[in-house]
Amino acid sequence: MENKVLIIIGDATETVDTMYPYFRLIEGGYKPVLAAPEKREYQMVMHQVKPGWTITREWEGYSMHADIAFKDIKPEEYVGIFFSGGRAPEYIRDDEDLIRITQYFFDKNAPIASVCHGVEIPARAGRVKGRKMATVPKCQFDLEVCGGTFVNEACVVDGNLVSGRTFWDHGHYIGPWMDLLDKARDAAG
């Protein structure tokens, strides 16, 4: 194992939700691997509920190139996985290979992190039942209808699963997730 960690993305993945953990993983001695439906360039977005608005406003963000397509992933080669937010999870969550990969990390009890709409992927994969998670409040239904428990906090740790609500929470939940990655890396030798 090369200390590789998957970051799940797609078109309209949230920019900060993706780039913050990407660079933190590098700082922590990990190799972040951007994974998506296809190996190509993906357009990210920035999301925020603008003051006075009742819905999320979206701006074009940076783009990043996926290192690997879901179908080519051998999950046993990775220490952990991160589910980025934005609108992408809604569109990629039905991908059979992504479901397979997601189930692998949950079933193996490997370090998992999720933020914002990222919850839609493990929910679709049938792995949130009985789990406590933070997510953006508008995804509370997605979590609860699949048997999970919504917790409106900046960092929720439920065993191997660490989650935050939005990019404002990155400073709270990424550190605990990286601690889990370090323990898994050290245990693997």
- 181 close to 24: Cβ distance less than 8 angstroms: no
Span 114-123, average pLDDT: 98
- pLDDT of amino acid 44: 95
21-68 tens-digit pLDDT = 999 999 999 999 999 999 999 999 988 777 887 777 788 989 999 999
Q: Is the pTM of this model over 0.75?
A: yes
Catalytic option among 117, 146, 155, 170: 117
76-100 tens-digit pLDDT = 999 999 999 999 999 999 999 999 9
Active site residue 117: yes
Whether the per-residue pLDDT at 1 is higher than 70: the answer is: no
- 31 close to 63: Cβ distance less than 8 angstroms: no
Catalytic option among 116, 139, 146, 155: 116
CATH of 4-188, one of 3.40.50.880, 3.40.50.460, 3.40.50.2300, 3.40.50.150: 3.40.50.880
Mean pLDDT for all residues in the chain: 95
Residue (of 44, 130, 36, 46) closest to 83 by Cα position: 36
- The DSSP element (H or E) to which 141 belongs, if any, is helix 140-145
- pLDDT of amino acid 54: 77
C-alpha–C-alpha distance, residues 14 and 44, integer Å: 6
Active site residue 116: yes
- pLDDT of amino acid 47: 81
C-alpha–C-alpha distance, residues 125 and 2, integer Å: 26
C-alpha–C-alpha distance, residues 119 and 142, integer Å: 8
8-27 tens-digit pLDDT = 999 999 999 999 999 999 99
C-alpha–C-alpha distance, residues 123 and 148, integer Å: 8
Domain ranges (residues) in the chain: 4-188
- pLDDT of amino acid 144: 98
